[in-house]
Structures are given as structure tokens and as C-alpha cells.
Amino acid sequence: MTRSIIQTDKAPAAIGTYSQAVRAGDTVYVSGQIPLDPATKEMVTGGIEAEIRRVFENLKAVAEAAGGSLAHAVKVNIYLTDLAHFAKVNEIMAQYFPQPYPARAAVGVAQLPRGARVEAECILHLG
């Protein structure tokens, strides 16, 4: 099975030892995205809603660079430093992912990189 690296300037560049995404066969593993603006490389401002939207915009950009879309997502993992924001994640996620929705996990965590309050990763199936 061939493995290829996915990279786009429409999402933040990796800030560590990882790729934005890796495609293996028909499956694309998209790395966790935090609310970094790809143009400024800074965290977005405007509150938790703006942060959640930026995370999903970043995932969308990587999915598109892989030749797919968020409609191809089969699994999404969401990490929140405050689970009180879970309802807002649901509301905004429904605007980015069409039904039938992918499988999902939401996990409360103590900290995320760069002080982010939300991070999400996903797996796409392009077959």
C-alpha cells in the first residue's frame, strides 16, 4: 500500500514532528487541528465559536487537499479543555459535516497545544 503525505497552505503548517495528513490507500488520517489561522500562524480571537469554526475550517482544508471533503469523514475525535463547550461543538459541527454523521468521540483534556481550547482530528475514506 502506498503512503503519501498531504500538505496545504490553507491549513496551519505542522508545528511538530508530524504531517498535516497521511494517505494510505483510500484512507486519509488528518492530524489534530487547533484554531490557528494559517495565514498569521496565530490563534484566532473572537471566543470559543470562532475557535471551533477555525478548527473545522482547518480540517476542511486538509480534507480538500487530500482530494476529499468532510463528507468523507468516517471518524472524528474532538478534544476540549472545557466540556461545557460540547453543545457549541455539536451546533457548529452540523454545519460542516453532512448526514449521516461520522463516528465521533469527544474527550475532556487538561491542556492542548498553544493554549487552544479545542482540537479535532479525523479519518477520511476516499474509496
pLDDT of residue 119 exceeding 80, the answer is yes
Band of pLDDT at residue 22, cut at 50, 70 and 90? very high
Unique residue bearing C-alpha cell 457548529: 92
- The answer to whether the predicted template modeling score (pTM) of the entire model surpasses 0.85 is yes
- Using alpha carbons, list the distances in angstroms from residue 59 to 2, 69, 72, 104: 22, 9, 12, 14
Mean pLDDT of the region 1-16: 93
pLDDT on residue 113 = 95
- Using alpha carbons, list the distances in angstroms from residue 39 to 4, 8, 10, 62: 24, 12, 8, 15
pLDDT per position as a tens digit, 50-78: 999 999 999 999 999 999 999 999 999 99
Band of pLDDT at residue 1, cut at 50, 70 and 90? confident
H or E element, residue 38: none
pLDDT on residue 15 = 83
State percent of the chain over pLDDT 90.
Answer: 95
Distance CA 70, CA 97 (A): 6
Distance CA 62, CA 9 (A): 9
pLDDT on residue 70 = 98
- Using alpha carbons, list the distances in angstroms from residue 119 to 20, 52, 112, 116: 13, 8, 7, 7
CB distance 114 to 18 below 8 Å: no
DSSP code for 91: H
